[in-house]
Structure 1
Amino acid sequence: MESTQGLPLEVRLSAYLDGQLPEAEMDEIDGILAKDDEARTVFEKLKRGSEFGARAFDRLLQEPVPLELVRGIRQAGQADDDDTPAGIAAIPAAAGAPRRRVTGYWPRTVAASLALFAAGGALGYLVGERHDASAPLNLAAARTWLDDIVDYHRIYSRQTRHLVEVPASEGAHIAEWLSQSTGVAFTLPDLSGQKLTFEGARLLVAGGKPTAQLIYRDAEGEIFAICFLQSDMAGGETGLTETMRNDLGLVSWQKGNAAYVVVGPSADPDLQRLAETVFSTI
């Protein structure tokens, strides 16, 4: 993996989003995202753009490919053969082999990425135009506030010095601050019986709303979080719903005027029991 040191922030965040950075630089970007509001804004735009582009291209692949485009791609491929290092055969894209990057070619890679991004935006627009104008385009409709929570948890759970915004020692302030900010009255759950230590709290934005994040740590150093926001389903109540997002487990529910979720390692067998405790005490 090649370093992006010295390149524009957008390029570095794009490489971070794709997991194409050395571990040390991933940690550096984590720190930037934890402290820099502007960087987080750019990251969110890149992430949503990536999701939009992926869905647009999925739809585009269902369209017939014009013969002129096929010929153009072939001609471009033949022209690029002159730049291929000796002894390395061209691999068809359909072969499904992993992409490899050649050290020292960052300027070319960045230029190509920007060109593809522009082309993807134009093609996505054209695909959308082919549909009936009366039918809504639901490329991003599936994203919920829980997706934002998962993204935040992946960033903040890797922090050490900046794990929380307000430390646990200011518990009274946390309760007042987050209640006023989210519009949700709550009691800080005591999870010492579950062998979890309260570390502190943060104020996030999930689903476009101010969202509280209470952070706990277990004896092994694993991070758990309780997040909640004011819900549009005021007065409704649902049971606990458990889902998994790769290495993260989520247990969510609706109660009163708020929606809640407990986030922790998906391998933890007591996550459901932990959520039940939070449900009855928060």
Structure 2
Amino acid sequence: MESTQGLPLEVRLSAYLDGQLPEAEVEEINAILAGDDEARVVYEKLKLGSEFGARAFDRMLQDPIPLDLVRNIKEAGRNEDDPSKLGFAAVPAAEIPANRRSAFWPQALSASLVIFLAGGAAGYLISEQKQTSFQAASNQFAPARTWLDDVAEYHRIYSRQARHLVEVPASESGHIVDWLSASTGVPFALPDLSAQKLTFEGARLLVAGGKPTAQLLYRDAENEIFAICFLQSEPVEGTTPLAESMRNDIGLVTWQKGKASYVVVGPSADPDLERIAEVVSANI
């Protein structure tokens, strides 16, 4: 068994599949496959291609031989028995090179190997095409991701922060308004939600749907975190109706006004979430 050190990973994995590696390299490949996700993907594709090629070769051997080919083989055999039909004088058997009749077998073996490798390559390409087609089909039928998905994920992370809940604290309210208005392109006023028993904690700048997005964070008496997020969007006339949705345990109430989209985010079980959104919509 020859070493494959220094050769491309695909070559080494092919030799590994065929059992053609020294024991030390087998252990090395085992370690690579255990710790490298990409190597495992390549290995599985090569394995699938090899199995496909082997099955294709087996089926080829099981197929009936075409009648024309049988007739040609028989005709060639009769011609060999009668050299005069081949157009040259008979040669004494003693003068025929010893390796003449065995030369067919290396050629047949080489042809078989080429067919096997071609089948393996075809299997690899077919598996690659199937995976690409499956991913394309999955993307086609998967629901389109929106900025609200990003907002929900941010809220799930930041609502669990204690010391680092906000980027700029509530004590810098004036700076928050100037900073987020300039960053998002959406002018706004900080909503006072004290009547809803929510305390303003501060703000962050996010990226949602590929756009700069403001996040204003509030806390209630039970330490639950609520957020108001907004970004620039396609302009609409007036204000759209409030719309509720959920992302697992997170509730969202959304609307659009002018050239901005807004959402109030909080626990999905909170019965006052829509009422909070109504107050925000009227005052932001």
Aligned 8 A contact 1:228 1:260 in 2: yes
1:222 maps to 224
Matching of residues 39-78 of structure 1 within 5 Å: none
Superposition map of 1:127-166 within 5 A:
127=130, 130=133, 138=140, 142-166=144-168
Pair 260,110 (structure 1): closer, same or farther in 2 beyond 3 Å? farther
Say whether 1:237 aligns with 2:162. no
Q: Does 1:201 align with 2:126?
A: no
What's the CA shift for 1:238?
A: 1.4
CA deviations on 1:114-148 (whole Å, 9 max, x unpaired) are 6349979x9997348659x9x9x636661000000
Give RMSD over aligned pairs: 3.3
- Name the SS for the 1:189 alignment partner: coil
Equivalent residues in 2 for 1:1-282 (5 A)? Answer: 110-112=35-37, 115-116=40-41, 126-127=129-130, 130=133, 138=140, 142-235=144-237, 237-282=239-284
Is the 1:236–1:257 Cα contact (8 Å) retained in structure 2?
Answer: no
* SS state at 2:40 partner: helix
Distance 1:138 1:190 in 2: 43
Deviation digits for residues 23-68 of structure 1, max 9, x if unmatched? xxxxxxxxxxxxxxxxxxxxxxxxxxxxxxxxxxxxxxxxxxxxxx
Cα pair distance change 1:234/1:114, threshold 3 Å: farther
CA contact (8 A) 1:225 1:264 kept: yes
Normalising by the residue count of structure 2, what TM-score does the alignment of the two structures yield?
Answer: 0.54
Structure 1 165/140 Cα, relative in aligned 2: closer, same or farther at 3 Å? farther
Moved more, 226-235 or 159-168: 226-235
Percent of aligned pairs sharing the same letter: 64
Partners in 2 of 1:275 and 1:123 — Cα distance?
52
C-alpha displacement of 1:167: 0.2
| 4+ residue segments displaced more than 6 Å | 117-120, 122-125
Query: What's the secondary structure of 1:138's corresponding residue?
Result: helix
1:153-210, CA deviations, whole angstroms, 9 ceiling, x for partnerless residues?
0111110111000000000110010000000010000000000000000000000000
- Equivalence for 1:7: none
Cα–Cα, structure 1 residues 216 and 112, in superposed 2: closer, same or farther, change >3 Å? same
Q: Which has the larger radius of gyration?
A: 2
8 A Cα contact 2:33 2:39, kept in partner: no
Alignment-mate amino acid for residue 175 of structure 2? H
Q: Deviations over 1:53-91 (max 9, x none)?
A: xxxxxxxxxxxxxxxxxxx9xxxxxxxxxxxxxxxxxxx
Cα distance change of structure 1 residues 248 and 171 upon mapping to structure 2, 3 Å threshold: same
- Number of aligned residue pairs: 175
Unaligned runs of at least 5 residues, structure 2: 1-16, 18-30, 46-124
Mind listing any 5+ residue stretches in structure 1 that lack a counterpart? 1-71, 73-105
User: Relative to structure 1, is the Cα distance of residues 194 and 118 closer, same or farther in structure 2, using a 3 angstrom cutoff?
Assistant: farther
SS at 1:148 equivalent: helix
Which AA in structure 1 matches 2:232? Q
One-letter code aligned to 2:40: A
Q: Do the aligned residues in 1 keep the contact of 2:32 with 2:39 (CA within 8 Å)?
A: no
Rounded to whole Å, the distance in 1 between the matches of 2:229 and 2:181 is 12
